[in-house]
Structure 1
Amino acid sequence: MKASDLMVKCLENEGVKYVFGVPGEENLDFLEAMRNSNLQLVLTRHEQTAGFMAATIGRLTGVPGVCLATLGPGATNLVTAAAYAQLGAMPMCMITGQKPIHSSKQGHFQIVDIVDMMKPLTKHTKQVVRGGRIPAIVRESFAKASGERPGAVHIELPEDVAAEETSAVPFPVHPVRRPDANEKAVSTAAEWIEQAHSPLILLGAGANRKLVSKMLMQFVERTGIPFFSTQMGKGVLPEDHPLCLGTAALSERDYLHCAIERADLILNIGHDVVEKPPFFMKPGGTRVIHINFVGADADDIYFPQLEVVGDIANAVWQLQEKVRVSPRWDFAYFMKVKARVDAQVAERADSDSFPVLPQRLVADVRSSMGPCDIVALDNGMYKIWFARNYRAWKPNTLLLDNALATMGAGLPSAMAAKMVHPAKKVLAVCGDGGFMMNSQELETAVRLGLDLVVLILNSNGYGMIKWKQAGAGFEDFGLDFGNPDFVKYAEAYGAHGHRITQTSELRPKLVECLNAKGVHVIEVPVDYSENARVLTKELNEKACTI
């Protein structure tokens, strides 16, 4: 068979269902091989979208998502998506084309060293120099992409190599069991927990990647130790649980940080240091136990005194077997913090003020979505409000990026989520700035026949940077822009356009669109004046004397 056919068979062998991308002439053999395969080619309008969708497939399934681009400008358009997957620990495989490597008639036209370019952005990058190497390269790439810590890999398939004949066959795929945590480390951790006065549990993104929720719930219920999460750890345990203190949406100064500062031991389960720090360690300060699939990357603000490395679920189970509920534990202050956090989240959640306040926006979205439905966030000011105020009840039901934190990923990630979970309601929440970075993918969503709702928060500017600008004492400058008529814009792509003109319309329109067929775009003006009142003034002036 041709090497391109072998590449497709290797992808099928790895469990790949979709290939997202924008093919070029250097991909034509590979494209023809896909035509006669079980893989579904999803043609996107930009390579960046293809990468975002592939990364989300990996995030939700654990099987690396695959995206395709041609050489040169097609491959360079994958750079942001590569960083998105790599920093966010989302397994993804990028396949790019290249001019013939054994003979060339076009000099350096469109030639960029893509393999070298991808090195700092991936776990693994390699050029295929002969067809018979494809099975080994694909198996190695997928194993590295999905292994802890997951991330991006890249394979370059040159045009002449893709056309070669080969008799090689795909390598068998065997499940790999992660090692159990060291018993001595677990025993030491159990002793530290029992000796603590006010232990606290932190749930991070690593706990969201693997299905460890059941074991964590048993541990929390048995010990009664309160917990909080990072942004990407939301939903690992249900956030309406009476022991949930909230989310560390900010790096410091929130009410939640009062509890963190009072804790004398933090069980840091699955946290990844690519996220903004949920707390700052100080020499001689709070003890931290690092419980994760991999060891800690120590830096100036994170240097755990004890590491329990191995399968998280197994480590938690071992701890559950060893830890005895201690009469020394005192969680009274934590519960006071929880009450204050809950009260602030409830503030103005029923406000009829228009444009819509972020508290009301988040409350209406939460009440419109079921426990297992999915909200996919782009990046903007609203992400902080959703991280603080939106209660996720199941793992991976609030998809946000707190690693690369790139704009433009909200709509593509929602599209991929709907493809993985067609029975669930999926809502993309995008700022006007982030939406316009990949808004052309409305056509892709319509073409795919997805039932999807896109909520565009219109503030006519880059709201997050405006908040930072004001907080730094600078004048409002350089961050405003104009927008198209989003209703007409949606309709131009064959989607349904809606505009909210008063706050009372928001929830009914959300419910209507979430239960309708097709792609629905809802424009809602948003008022970010609450940033200054709550996130700046109130939190800066608070005292941890609850």
Structure 2
Amino acid sequence: MRAADIIVKSLEAQGITRVYCVPGESYLALLDALYGGSIEVVICRHESGAGFMAVAEAKMTGKPAVFLVSRGPGATNGSIAIHVAEQDAVPVVCLIGQVSREERTRGAFQEVDYTQFLGSMCKGVFEVNEGAKMAEICARSFRLAAEGTPGPVVISLPEDMLNDEAGATVPAAYPLARPQHSPQQSSALQAMIDKAQRPIVVAGAGFRGPRGAAALALFAEAQRIPVAVTWKNQDIFDNASLLYAGHLGFGNPPKHREALAKSDLIIAAGTRLGDVASLNYTFPACPVPAQPLVHIYQDGGPIGRVYRTDLGIIADAVPLFEELSGNPRVVSSAREGWITDINGFIRGFQEFTPSDPQDGVNFGSVVLSIAAQAPKDSIVTTDAGNISTWVHRHWKMSPANLQLGGIAGAMGFGVPSAVAASMIAPQRTVLTFVGDGGILMTGQELATAIQYGAKPKIVLSDNGIYGTIRTHQEREYPGRVSGTDLHNPDFTAWGRSFGAHAVTISRGDDIDAKVKEALDHDGAVLIHVKSSREVLSAFTTLSALKK
């Protein structure tokens, strides 16, 4: 077989059924090898869209997903998704076409050294110069992407190498080493829990999936410990539970931080405990936390790297929590009072007070109407920006949902992630919340949705500004607006031009009726919300920032 054929056979051996791409002449042989095979080739309209779709698939499945880009401009366009995969700890394999071997190091047309360009963002960058090594490097790359802290791996493919004779042997997927806790570690953790009066779990993406969410819920209930979920991971724990301690992200109010600070034990599990998950290194405090800290993660790299850690456990947190959920505790009145206090704050914080701004629709009213009417197992994806704040604060998600959002904060994730999610789970309602900035970065992937029969519901907040940047601008440089105003097209007409059903929500409209129309439509939908600038986010208004 050619090296190109070996790649396809290797993808099949890894269980890959779909790849996302923008085609390029640098990997024509690979496109040819994919022709007529079992792997679906999803043709995207921009490399960032293809990469974001792969990131979304990997988040959904927990397994490596694949996207293909051409050399030079294709790779640079796709690099945003590689950065997101690194920041979000998501297993993604990117195949990049490269100039021919004889042209390398000569500064040839569109030549890039991907080891230098992408090396700091990737777990590995491999340029394959011998077709005979193709199968080995494919198998190694998928294992590397998934082991330890998941992340992106790049394989650079010189175009002439793809036609090399490469043998006929394709290795099966390499097994992954899964670190497990010891009996001594579980006993030590249990002793620390029993000693504490106000413990809290900070739970991350390591609990994604039915087994993880079930283990987290059973552990919290058996041990009687409140659970705070990390940024963009609301769906791993029932937000209506009396043990829910909130969502740790941007914009958490001082009172929430004060409530969390009263804890006397932090159990960080399934999270690297980065800046957002730790409320910018204040919970736990850096470098020495105010409380004893337990950190449980499948990779030892993050444990003790930033914070002094009293008990570090290099292990998958799910089996550990399953074990300890078999040890139900009758706890003190102080523990139950702690649960009541922190959840009491969260319940008040989750409440939404509608308002009627004079300059447009309160986007929060639309979000709440969708949350009330959408199926309880809806998949919810979010783009970067203020538009997601209403989802995080007011939508009471549960493990029946699936939430996909870019922890890295890259604009443009919303539409491609919803297209991929709808293709992977066509039986479920898929909603994405996106602003007028993000939608014009990757919204052209609506064409991909129509081409492949995907049915995302795109909820667009159109307020004519880069809202998050305006928030910071008004706070730091009040009254000096620079670089944040937008002139937008008619998004309703724009959505219809792709073949999507479009619903416009303007001030004074019956929001519930418009939302019902959109949700009832069996196809791709754009919900064009003519949003208020005044109501900038779920946390503040433009007027409040100017005071």
Q: What band does the TM-score fall into relative to the shorter chain?
A: over 0.9
Q: Distance in 1 between matches of 2:480 and 2:393?
A: 26
Please, what is the CA RMSD of the aligned residues? 2.6
The structure 1 residue matched to 2:405, chosen from 384, 400, 407, is 400
Structure 2 vs 1, CA of residues 98 and 537 (structure 1 numbering), >3 Å: closer, same or farther?
Answer: closer
Moved more, 312-321 or 299-308: 299-308
Q: Which residue of 2 aligns with 1:440?
A: 444
How far the C-alpha of 1:441 sits from its partner, in A, is 1.4
Structure 1 partner of 2:148 = 148
| Distance change in 2, residues 1:351/1:337 (3 Å) | farther
Q: 2:307 aligns with which of 302, 307, 327?
A: 302
User: Is residue 2:371 matched to residue 1:371?
Assistant: no
Listed as ranges, the matches of 1:59-138 within 5 Å are 59-102=59-102, 108-138=108-138
**2:411 pairs with 1:381:** no
Task: Tell me the SS of whatever aligns to 1:232.
Answer: coil
Q: Distance in 1 between matches of 2:386 and 2:379?
A: 19
Displacement of 1:396: 6.1
Query: Displacement, 1:322?
Result: 5.1
CA displacement 1:416-458 (0-9 Å, x = unmatched):
1111111000011110001111122121111111112111101
The amino acid that maps onto 2:346 is V
C-alpha deviation, 1:95, in angstroms: 0.5
> Aligned partners of 2:232 and 2:487: how far apart in 1?
32
* Structure 1 residues 351 and 207: alpha-carbon distance in aligned structure 2, compared to 1, 3 A threshold: farther
Cα distance between partner residues in 1 of 2:380 and 2:511: 16
**1:106 Cα shift?**
8.7
Identify if the C-alpha distance between structure 1 residues 498 and 492 changes in structure 2 by more than 3 Å, giving closer, same or farther: same
Q: How does 1:2-17 map to 2 (within 5 A)?
A: 2-17=2-17
Tell me if the contact between 1:21 and 1:44 (Cα under 8 Å) persists in the aligned partners: yes
- In structure 2, the residue matched to 1:544 is none
Q: Secondary structure at the match of 1:392?
A: coil
C-alpha displacement of 1:499: 1.0
CA offsets, 1:71-126, max 9 Å, x none?
Answer: 11111111111001111111111101112104689961211112331111111110
> 1:335-391 CA distances to partner (integer Å, 9 max, x unpaired)?
234223322322314869772224323311211222211111111112223222222
Q: Secondary structure at the match of 2:492?
A: helix
CA distance in 2 between partners of 1:286 and 1:16 (Å)? 44
* Inter-partner Cα distance in structure 1 for 2:252 and 2:214: 30
3-state SS of paired residue (1:434): helix
Alignment of 1:222-261 (within 5 A): 222-250=222-250, 253-261=253-261
Secondary structure of 1:267's aligned partner? strand
Q: Which amino acid aligns with 1:339?
A: G
- What are the ranges of 5 or more consecutive residues in structure 2 without an aligned counterpart? none
Contact kept in structure 1, 2:131 and 2:161, CA below 8 Å: yes
CA contact (8 A) 1:253 1:539 kept: no
Counterpart among 321, 325, 328 of residue 320 in structure 1: 325
Tell whether the 8 Å contact from 1:296 to 1:304 is kept in structure 2 after alignment: no
Equivalent position of 1:519 in the other structure:
524
Q: Give the Å deviation of 1:486.
A: 0.5
Alpha-carbon distance change, 55 to 237 in structure 1, aligned in 2, over 3 angstroms: same
Aligned to 1:543: none
> Structure 2: how far apart are the matches of 1:300 and 1:133?
36
- Structure 2 CA distance for partners of 1:533 and 1:498, relative to 1, 3 Å: closer
Deviation at 1:473, TM superposition (A): 4.4
Equivalent residues of 1:230, 1:249 under 8 A apart: yes
8 Å contact 1:452–1:514 — kept in the other structure?
Answer: no
* Range 468-477 or range 457-466, more displaced: 468-477
1:280/1:301 contact within 8 Å kept: no
For 2:351 and 2:204, the matched residues in 1 are separated by 24
> What amino acid is aligned across from residue 367 of structure 1 in structure 2?
A
Bigger Cα displacement from structure 2, 518-527 vs 166-175? 166-175
Inter-partner Cα distance in structure 1 for 2:409 and 2:103: 41
**Secondary structure at the residue paired with 1:246?**
strand
**2: CA distance, partners of 1:538 / 1:187:** 53
The farther-off stretch of 158-167 and 321-330 is 321-330
Which position in structure 1 is the counterpart of 2:424? 420
Which amino acid in the other structure matches residue 76 of structure 1? T
**What is the rounded CA distance, in whole Å, between the counterparts of 1:452 and 1:431 in structure 2?**
16
Q: Aligned partners of 2:237, 2:226: CA distance in 1, in Å? A: 11
User: SS in structure 1 opposite 2:496?
Assistant: helix
CA contact (8 A) 1:378 1:409 kept: yes
Q: 1:168 to 1:105 in 2, by over 3 A?
A: same
Q: Deviations over 1:449-476 (max 9, x none)?
A: 1112111101100111111112224324
C-alpha separation in 1, matches of 2:143 and 2:77: 25
Deviation, 1:407, is: 0.3
SS of the aligned residue for 2:380 comes to strand
1:203-214 pair list within 5 angstroms: 203-208=203-208, 211-214=211-214
Does structure 1 conserve the Cα–Cα contact (< 8 Å) formed by 2:390 and 2:538?
Answer: no
d(CA) in 2 for partners of 1:246 and 1:422? 30
1:201 aligned partner, one-letter code: V
Alpha carbons of structure 1 residues 518 and 532: separation in structure 2 relative to 1, 3 Å = closer
Aligned equivalents of 2:360, 2:115: Cα separation in 1:
48
Residue identity matched to 2:397: A
Judge conservation of contact 1:345–1:389 (CA < 8 Å) in 2: yes
In structure 2, C-alpha distance between the alignment counterparts of 1:537 and 1:459, rounded to whole Å: 12
Do the aligned residues in 2 keep the contact of 1:281 with 1:303 (CA within 8 Å)?
no
Specify which of 482, 486, 493 is matched with residue 488 of structure 1.
493
1:430 pairs with 2:446: no
Q: Which amino acid aligns with 2:186?
A: V
Residue type matched to 2:309 in 1? Answer: P
Amino acid paired to 2:416: P
Q: More deviation in 379-388 or 431-440?
A: 379-388
Identity %, equivalent residues: 28
Match of 1:462 in 2: 466
Q: Is the 8 A contact 1:59 1:209 kept in 2?
A: no
How many residues end up aligned between the 2 structures?
A: 539
Moved more, 510-519 or 111-120: 510-519
Rounded Cα–Cα distance in structure 2 between residues aligned with 1:217 and 1:416:
28
Is residue 93–residue 141 contact of structure 1 (8 Å, CA) maintained in 2? yes
CA distance in 2, matches of 1:331, 1:530: 37
Separation in structure 1 between the aligned mates of residue 424 and residue 173 of structure 2, nearest angstrom: 22
- Paired with 2:244 and 2:543, the residues of 1 have a C-alpha distance of 22
* Structure 1: runs of 5+ lacking an equivalent: 541-546
C-alpha separation in 2, matches of 1:26 and 1:494:
32
Per-residue CA distance 1:489-541 (angstroms, 9 max, x = gap) = 1122222222112355333323322232222111102225345894489999x
**What is the letter of the counterpart of residue 366 of structure 1?**
A
> Cα gap change, 1:255/1:390 in structure 2, threshold over 3 Å: closer, same or farther?
farther
**Counterpart selection for 1:451 from 455, 468, 485:** 455
- Worse-superposed segment, 125-134 or 521-530: 521-530
